[in-house]
């Protein structure tokens, strides 16, 4: 058992493996002989082995400043997010931004047609803030200083804009934590652009493998 400090992005698999095992992997931890399970998966494995029970539920986390009560709840797979909202309730329904995932890297979801699955069952309800305007990059370097994987997000943006080769930037190490966007004073969606570059490289890799 290892006790660790709490800090943002520790729950990210790359960050966790780097911190606990002092190992950096490229795509999956199994490359280094490591498997990472969360508590919900461990519970599902235990129930399957001990009671031959298939996984029919997941432990979902409801967090953020707009739920009436933040909590963990065992939810049946396939439950609509709308039902969960009816059960837990928002503080002020009209001002809520609902994300699947955390505050920094989460994706906005529409509860009307969203079904809860075992994949990333974290739902953040946040107060809607005024839209911020995107400005030009001022070359402050904050995205570089903040990146936990020591990448150079601003240089990656430059390379993507100029359609340069991205292979030297080690994009596969990006954990998509979103911190580069969070700290950017120009409100540039840096991590979204980095993610696009990462996807482009993966697509190229698949394409070359298929040829």
CA angle 186, 190, 192 (to 5 degrees): 135
Does position 174 interact with ligand SF4 (CB under 6 A)? The reply is yes
Binding residues for ligand SF4, how many (CB under 6 A)? 29
- Smallest gap from Cβ 104 to ligand SF4, in A, equals 9
d(CA 148, CA 177): 9
Applying CB under 6 A, which of residues 81, 98, 99, 190 lies at the interface with ligand SF4? 190
- Smallest gap from Cβ 173 to ligand SF4, in A, equals 7
Does position 18 interact with ligand SF4 (CB under 6 A)? The reply is no
Report strand pairing: 107-108 vs 96-100: antiparallel
Does position 197 interact with ligand SF4 (CB under 6 A)? The reply is no
Site for ligand SF4 in 98-157 (CB under 6 A): 137-143, 146-149, 151, 153-154
Does position 191 interact with ligand SF4 (CB under 6 A)? The reply is yes
| 183 touches 9 (CB < 8 A) | no
The H or E element containing residue 71 is strand 71-76
Q: Which residue's CB is nearer to ligand SF4, number 84 or number 151?
A: 151
Does position 177 interact with ligand SF4 (CB under 6 A)? The reply is yes
d(CA 56, CA 120): 15
| 62 touches 73 (CB < 8 A) | yes
Distance of alpha carbon 209 from the chain centroid = 28
Q: Which residue's CB is nearer to ligand SF4, number 74 or number 200?
A: 200
Does position 176 interact with ligand SF4 (CB under 6 A)? The reply is yes
Taking each helix axis from N to C end, the angle separating 190-210 and 153-161, rounded to the nearest 10 degrees, works out to 60
**Which residues of the shown chain bind ligand SF4 in the complex (CB under 6 A)?**
137-143, 146-149, 151, 153-154, 174-180, 183-186, 188, 190-191, 194
């Amino acid at each position: 058992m290892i006790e660790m400090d709490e800090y943002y992005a520790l729950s990210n698999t790359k960050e966790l493996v780097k911190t606990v095992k002092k190992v950096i992997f490229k795509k999956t931890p199994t490359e280094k002989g490591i498997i990472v399970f969360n508590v919900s998966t461990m519970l599902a494995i235990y129930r399957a082995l001990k009671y031959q029970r298939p996984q029919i539920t997941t432990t979902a986390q409801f967090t953020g400043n707009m739920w009436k009560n933040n909590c963990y709840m065992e939810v049946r797979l396939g439950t609509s997010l709308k039902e969960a909202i009816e059960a837990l309730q928002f503080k002020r329904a009209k001002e809520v931004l609902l994300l699947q995932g955390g505050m920094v890297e989460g994706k906005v979801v529409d509860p009307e047609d969203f079904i809860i699955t075992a994949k990333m069952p974290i739902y953040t309800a946040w107060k809607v803030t005024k839209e911020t305007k995107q400005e030009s990059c001022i070359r402050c370097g904050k995205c570089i200083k903040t990146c936990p994987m020591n990448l150079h997000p601003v240089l990656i943006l430059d390379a993507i804009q100029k359609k340069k080769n991205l292979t030297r930037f080690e994009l596969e190490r990006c954990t998509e934590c979103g911190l580069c966007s969070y700290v950017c004073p120009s409100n540039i969606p840096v991590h979204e652009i980095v993610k696009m570059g990462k996807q482009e490289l993966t697509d190229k890799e698949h394409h070359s493998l298929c040829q």
